[in-house]
Structure 1
Amino acid sequence: MMTFASRFALPLAFLMASTSLSMAAECGGDLGTFLQGVKAEAVAAGVPADIADQALAGARIDEKVLARDRSQGVFKQTFLEFSQRTVSQARLDIGRQKLQQYKAVFDRAEQEFGIPSGIIAAFWAMETDFGAVQGDFSTRNALVTLAHDCRRPELFRPQLLALIEMVQHGDLDPATNTGAWAGEIGQVQMLPKDIIEFGIDGDGDGHINVKQSAPDAILTAAKFIQHLGFKRGEPWIQEVTIPDNLPFEKTGLSGPLTAGEWFALGVTPRDGDTASGNLPASLVLPQGRKGTAFLTYPNFNIYLEWNQSFIYTTSAAYFATRLMGAPPYLKGTPEQGLGDVEMKALQTKLQTLGHDVGKIDGILGSGTRVAIQKEQQRLGMPADGWATPSLLNTL
């Protein structure tokens, strides 16, 4: 299950929280007093007092949630390692079964919101294995814990208030509802504020139940993805083959070329489709110029909004293409990468050379990739952003 811990630094849903700065101070201290403050705010927003009491009754601090929040995991796998584990044949088979089982719902999602079925199904698979693994943390206690904690109350208090609103709508039982440790709920792991704003009753039962109803989850995800900026009818990622003499310094997610300009440089789509030549396109090389290569289009940005991990987003986008009929990617023969200790040593060296690589964490993140490209270019090496022993040794 892909929960808040592995999804990125801060999910988009949290960034959308619009709370006053004064609210950030309403944290910590006696839990009972804190909950009374939350109740008062909910009642002031129109929630009946008895509903607020019901939503918060029995709430407690969950130390396991705090432990998870303070030790969030990060991706240290390569693209090949992570994508081969997550985009498995078993998941592809189940995904294609789900596309048939809920064909009418997926057709509605594409008709109303312009979101291809494969994109939704891939998120569904990667987040919860099609609803099988949704998390076993009390959603109420998780949000109470994180809202009460003074690290990021401005992010989590609005989610707790939104949970109370879901109780008011009859869409959530606060005593029994479980989900991810950071309060995400349901088959595609969404936060309460987003469920309220984008939720759709897909099965017509009068409630929005993204935890148990696949139609509700599918259509709610589609509306949310549309909100993130997905453009109907445009591609999101396309596997390509590349020549050896590219201007590799132009590769990466901030690449300045159009797809047509890449094609003119010898980049060749494996599916032969060059119809998107006028679109801006970035050439991404998850494991350098000798590994798998993709062109990413503006629609790829919705993946970065959903999850800021480059490895996760690229794998999820690739998964979607597989569900839509694309063949397995060409693995290539990537150069050996760096282990954790060596990557930290490289980041430290890059930092001493004046590059902003962020935290020295052993992760080949966007800042480290950009710094690597600059040093590779300075050293006359192909600037593909891949961290190798030869680069570390040279530096």
Structure 2
Amino acid sequence: MWHNTRMLTRFGVWRMAWATKSWMMAGFATAALALGGCAASAEEPVAQAEPQVATAESGFGAFLAGVRAEGLEKGLRSQTLDAALANVTHIDRVIELDRKQPEFTLTFNEYLGRIVSQARVEEGRRKLAENKALLTEIERRYGVQPRFVVALWGIETNFGKNTGGMSVVSSLATLAYDGRRSKYFRTELMNALTILDQGHIQPANMIGSWAGAMGQCQFMPSTFLKFAVDWDGDGKRNIWTNRADALASAANYLSSEGWKGDQTWGRAVKLPADFPRTALGVDTRKTVKEWAALGVKGSDGKPLPARDISASIVLAEGTKGPAFLVYDNFRTIMKWNRSTFFALAAGHLADRIGGK
């Protein structure tokens, strides 16, 4: 999941994480699907890149020497730095992908059809059943309903199948050396080295997207350090191959960002013809009861429930498209991925997985 550095698309869709890999495989051409999980960009395996070997004389070699020196200053062990940086290469393909992120032109319905496919719904229901005991315990600790954890897992990495194919350290080093957003990516590189120094993963196994998003929930290194969980107590927060750690980490992220376990994400609605356009958007909040008084109805034309839950009205495509009444959990999903498209799709997929 790509939480901090995401591209802005035509409809506010952000993201550079690997999650889009699964969308691309579903026929999304070569688009780097933002949207944003953590997770999503079109990428290619390392074998298709043309790396530049870092020599002591090269600029990249000097850069890595500086990274090593900074790591030592921060207290990282020299053995960790030697192992992590020994085989780092400059990956030209990473820069190409960073420069050529296409803008999306999909409508919301087209996007929804790709992300919330019947195959993904059915797989999500199987995963929900297979992991029922684990997800129940995770919900008990973090207060996040299992269907939402499974939905994000499915969107980000196709339930752990597509977690990326590039060395995270090499990708981050390439982006940090590039200069366009070097400060951000150098910080993420140091965070990745910290994760290695803590022993959660070996350098050769720290694989992820070209932009550095990692594991089954596609966390950037900074997000890992904040929210990753050692669910099974083995001393490692392994979001790559340990399903329990990955799902618990996703739930911990949502919980820490304000998730409300007694609420859902929102619902489709119908707006009256005279609905004020100035009332649209997540910045305008009213209770469900107040929206009902303004003439907002359920998508089936029936009255909204008379509840005092704070909610907002959003249109899927900003100024057009279907309308939705969204609650605080929708806002939390948008912290995971700042895209209206993504948040609506995640909520819809969760509902479908849950049987709605």
The residue aligned with 1:180 is 209
The residue aligned with 1:88 is 117
Q: Are the counterparts in 1 of residues 38 and 218 from structure 2 also a CA contact under 8 Å? A: no
- Residue from 50, 63, 66 that aligns with 1:34: 63
1:161-203 deviation digits (Å, cap 9, x = unpaired): 1211222232222234321110001111101222122221223
Report the residue type matching 1:2 in the other structure. A
Residue 229 of structure 1: how far off its partner (Å): 2.1
- Structure with a larger share of its residues in strand: 2
Gap runs ≥5 in structure 2: 1-17, 22-31, 40-57
Residue 212 of structure 1: how far off its partner (Å): 1.0
For the pair 1:130 / 2:159, whether they are aligned, the reply is yes
Which structure has the larger Rg over C-alpha atoms?
Answer: 1
Q: Are the counterparts in 2 of residues 231 and 299 from structure 1 also a CA contact under 8 Å? A: yes
Report the residue type matching 1:57 in the other structure. A
Q: Aligned equivalents of 1:193 and 1:52: distance in 2?
A: 18
Q: Are the counterparts in 1 of residues 171 and 210 from structure 2 also a CA contact under 8 Å? A: yes
TM, length-normalised to structure 1: 0.72
Q: Secondary structure at the match of 2:324?
A: strand
The residue aligned with 1:322 is 352
Q: Aligned equivalents of 2:304 and 2:80: distance in 1?
A: 56
Q: Aligned equivalents of 1:288 and 1:175: distance in 2?
A: 43
Gap runs ≥5 in structure 1: 13-28, 327-395
The residue aligned with 2:170 is 141
Q: 1:305 to 1:74 in 2, by over 3 A?
A: farther
Report the residue type matching 1:222 in the other structure. A
Q: Which has the higher contact order (CA 8 A, sep 6+)?
A: 2
Q: Map of 1:211-226 to 2, 5 A cutoff?
A: 211-226=240-255
The residue aligned with 1:376 is none
Q: Are the counterparts in 2 of residues 6 and 74 from structure 1 also a CA contact under 8 Å? A: no
Aligned length: 310
Larger CA deviation: 184-193 vs 292-301: 292-301
Q: Aligned equivalents of 1:85 and 1:305: distance in 2?
A: 22
Q: Map of 1:143-222 to 2, 5 A cutoff?
A: 143-222=172-251
Q: Aligned equivalents of 1:214 and 1:176: distance in 2?
A: 16
Residue 205 of structure 1: how far off its partner (Å): 3.4
Q: Are the counterparts in 2 of residues 7 and 308 from structure 1 also a CA contact under 8 Å? A: no
The residue aligned with 1:7 is 34
Q: Are the counterparts in 1 of residues 35 and 342 from structure 2 also a CA contact under 8 Å? A: no
The residue aligned with 2:323 is 293
Q: Aligned equivalents of 1:134 and 1:175: distance in 2?
A: 14
Q: Aligned equivalents of 1:289 and 1:157: distance in 2?
A: 37
Larger CA deviation: 47-56 vs 164-173: 164-173
Q: Secondary structure at the match of 1:127?
A: helix
Q: Secondary structure at the match of 1:105?
A: helix
Report the residue type matching 2:149 in the other structure. I
Identical amino acids, percent of aligned pairs = 36
Q: Aligned equivalents of 2:195 and 2:306: distance in 1?
A: 42
Aligned CA-pair RMSD: 2.7
Q: Map of 1:1-395 to 2, 5 A cutoff?
A: 1-3=18-20, 5-7=32-34, 30-269=59-298, 277-286=307-316, 292-326=322-356
Q: 1:73 to 1:270 in 2, by over 3 A?
A: same
Structure 1 consecutive aligned stretches of length 4 or more whose deviation exceeds 6 Å: 9-12
Q: Secondary structure at the match of 2:204?
A: coil
